[in-house]
């Protein structure tokens, strides 16, 4: 499978008479973009706003973030299952508007949305303070169920991200990265030789229902068994976020598109390791579901001949059982494991960081303690509603100062302790 990501660097975003890229500026025809969603009956209010790096802007409450992409060549379309059918992606050429993002803004569960700051210390916790953001603001229709509203907002964000990229097909390309590897285990062995260690990536996806969901090719992953995919499929939008876990843990669609574990393993394939593929597995609510998924994950890893597994978590608490179960079962099968996750250790860092433990989980990369306090200075402009911080996990009604300063736990910031490692913080032994 061969995928070329053709990147047009977005350095600014502005309103324009036509949606297009011109000399590094992304112009958005607001009226045309909104007309894309004009017939959506599940919203009573629909608007857009722009937020640029360095501006005194706070965006709250944020649901998802999506990088604008569309296929230029090859089979299928980005965001399969939502845009253009369900053909296998990860091939051909894809346009990436690098440095741009669609940010969906609107309350769904409240405690599980979060905030993005475009300047100040908040920008240190995720990539979105450095992206040129096209914000989609909505309000749900009266009486609509939360799940239906989440569906509508998710679909609207994906459609808007694809629309923006589609209108910029003739953008000048600043950089192209090619990701190519054999489709079969035998082919990968031929590429890498027999001496390189064989790695598999186990990507745990939130799949608990109650707005804790992830989609793969348009299918809710809690409805399927663990599935093997090529890394290029992940890059090409095969995984879509539909979750409302705490903001710090939330793996946005943007995170999946730019998954640093996938990128790093691809970069090292054939050099110092053999990257066999990605096992997308679940984090179920029931014990029987967890056992089934873990057993099947191990079976797939063994069928591939994996020697090392990197496991990433999504969420915390209940999913801690999944990482422990997967680490234990893989280790007992003779497959060495490394886990990437975060901690819930209290504001003083003295509490137990995980809800579950197992002695076989002996290599853990921490993405930080979600309970750390942070003070965020006031911003001149709020996109959304600053009062949402009172209901966001990690904040309360006392979080907002009289001047607009926010004091909250970092779990209120979208992606602050992202468990794919797509953040700037972590922990070290002292």
Active-site annotation, residues: 244
Alpha carbons 290 and 225: distance in angstroms, whole number: 11
- Can you spell out the DSSP letters for 52-76? -TTSSEEEEEEEEEE--EEEEESSS
- Helices of type H across 23-145: 30-35
Q: Are 53 and 130 in contact (CB under 8 A)?
A: yes
Q: Which residues, in sequence order, are CB contacts of 247 under 8 Å at separation 6+?
A: 62, 112, 113, 114, 115, 392, 393, 394, 411, 412, 413, 414, 415, 416
Nearest to 426 by CA among 298, 340, 299, 313: 340
- Can you spell out the DSSP letters for 277-344? EEEEEEE-SSHHHHHHHHHHHHHHHHHHT-SEEEEE--SSSHHHHHHHHHHHHHHHTT-EEEEEEEE-
If one counts every other C-beta atom within 10 angstroms of the C-beta of residue 422, the result is 20
């Amino acid at each position: 499978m061969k995928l070329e990501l053709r990147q047009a660097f977005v350095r600014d975003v502005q309103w324009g008479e036509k949606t297009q890229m011109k000399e590094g500026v992304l112009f958005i025809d607001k009226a045309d973009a909104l007309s894309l969603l004009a017939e959506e009956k599940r919203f009573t209010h629909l608007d857009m706003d722009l937020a640029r790096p360095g501006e005194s802007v706070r965006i709250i409450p944020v649901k998802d973030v999506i990088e604008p992409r569309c296929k230029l060549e090859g089979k299928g379309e980005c965001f399969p299952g939502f845009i253009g059918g369900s053909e296998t992606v990860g091939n051909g050429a894809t346009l990436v508007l690098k440095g741009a993002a669609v940010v969906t803004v609107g309350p769904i569960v409240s405690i599980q949305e979060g905030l993005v700051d475009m300047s100040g210390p908040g920008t240190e916790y995720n990539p979105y303070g450095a992206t040129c953001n096209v914000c989609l603001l909505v309000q749900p229709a009266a009486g609509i169920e939360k799940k239906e509203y989440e569906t509508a907002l998710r679909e609207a964000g994906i459609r808007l991200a694809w629309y923006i990229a589609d209108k910029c097909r003739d953008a000048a390309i600043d950089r192209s990265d090619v990701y190519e590897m054999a489709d079969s285990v035998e082919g990968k062995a031929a590429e890498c030789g027999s001496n390189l260690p064989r790695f598999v990536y186990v990507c745990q996806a939130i799949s608990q229902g109650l707005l804790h969901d992830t989609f793969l090719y348009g299918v809710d992953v809690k409805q399927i068994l663990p599935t093997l995919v090529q890394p290029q499929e992940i890059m090409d939008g095969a995984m879509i976020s539909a979750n409302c876990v705490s903001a710090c843990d939330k793996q946005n669609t943007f995170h999946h598109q730019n998954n640093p574990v996938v990128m790093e393993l691809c970069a090292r394939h054939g050099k110092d390791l053999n990257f066999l593929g990605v096992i997308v597995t679940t984090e179920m609510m029931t014990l029987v579901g967890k056992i089934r998924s873990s057993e099947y994950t191990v079976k797939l890893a063994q069928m591939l001949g994996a020697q090392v597994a990197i496991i990433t978590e999504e969420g915390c608490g209940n999913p801690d059982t999944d990482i422990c179960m997967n680490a234990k079962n893989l280790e007992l099968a003779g497959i060495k494991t490394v886990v990437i996750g975060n901690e819930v250790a209290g504001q003083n860092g003295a509490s137990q960081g995980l809800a579950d433990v197992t002695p076989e989980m002996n290599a853990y990369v921490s993405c930080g303690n979600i309970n750390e306090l942070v003070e965020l200075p006031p911003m001149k402009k709020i996109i959304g509603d600053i009062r949402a911080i009172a209901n966001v996990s990690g904040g309360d009604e006392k979080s907002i100062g009289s001047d607009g300063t926010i004091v909250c736990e970092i779990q209120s910031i979208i992606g602050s302790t992202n468990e794919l490692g797509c953040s700037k913080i972590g922990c070290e032994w002292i």
